[in-house]
Amino acid sequence: MARYMSITLTKAGVTCRARLLDDEAPLTCAAVWDALPQEGDAFHAKYARNEVYALVPRITAAPHRENPTVTPIPGDVCLFDFEPWEIGNPAYGYEPGSAAHHAQGATDLALFYGRNNLLINGDLGWVPGSVFATIDDGLADLAEACNGLWLRGVEGETLAFARA
C-alpha cells in the first residue's frame, strides 16, 4: 500500500502530496517516515537550479545514499545527508545555530519543481541526492510558488513535511 506525505510552503499556503518510493528507496523512506513531521526554513538552491529545500536535524537512520541521482526531474523529492564540515562554510549563508551548524550534521529535504537540474557544488563537486518520493498532486501550484521564492526571496518561508 502506498504511503504519502504532504509538503507545504507555510507562508505561501501551498501544499502538494508526494508518494514515497518504498520499492526504490526502502531504507530512506522508512527513516524519513519515522522522522516526520519535519519543518525548517525554506531555501532556494544556488547551484542546482529548480530546487527548494529545508535543513532539518540529521535523520541518522537514513542511509548515506539510496536511489541516487545528480539530475533530478520535476517532482523528485530527495534526501541529502551532510556531515558538519560539508555545509558549515560561511559562504553558504546559513545562520549560526541553524541545522547547518549542528554538531551531528544535517539532513537536507529537497523538492525539485522544474527541469534541467544538476547537483554540483563548487566546493564539493557532485552531490548525489537520494530520491525517496515523487510529487503526484499539486506540482504546478508548488512550482509557481517556488519560482516566486526565486524571484522575491525566501525570508520568513518554511517548508513542512508531514504524513498524509
Do the Cβ atoms of 105 and 83 come closer than 8 Å?
A: yes
- Cα–Cα distance for residue pair 41/2, rounded to 1 Å: 28
40: domain range? Answer: 4-163
What is the pLDDT of the chain when averaged over all its residues? 93
CATH number for the domain that contains residue 100: 2.40.100.20
Cell numbers for 75, please give them.
517532482
Distances (CA, A) of 23 to 17, 27, 90, 112, 150: 18, 10, 38, 20, 33
What is the per-residue pLDDT across 99-148, written as a single tens digit (0 to 9) for each?
766 778 899 999 999 999 999 988 788 999 999 999 999 999 999 999 99
Count of domains forming the chain: 1
pTM for the structure as a whole: 0.94
% of the chain at pLDDT higher than 90: 80
pLDDT at site 98 = 72
Q: φ and ψ at 20, to 5 degrees?
A: -70, 140
Buried b (16+ CB within 10 A) or exposed e, 79-109: bbbbeeebbbeeeeebeeeebbbbeebbbbb
The band of 164, judged by pLDDT with boundaries at 50, 70 and 90, is: very high
CB atoms within 10 A of CB 16: 24
Give me the helices (H) in 50-103, please: 84-87
Do the Cβ atoms of 152 and 12 come closer than 8 Å?
A: no
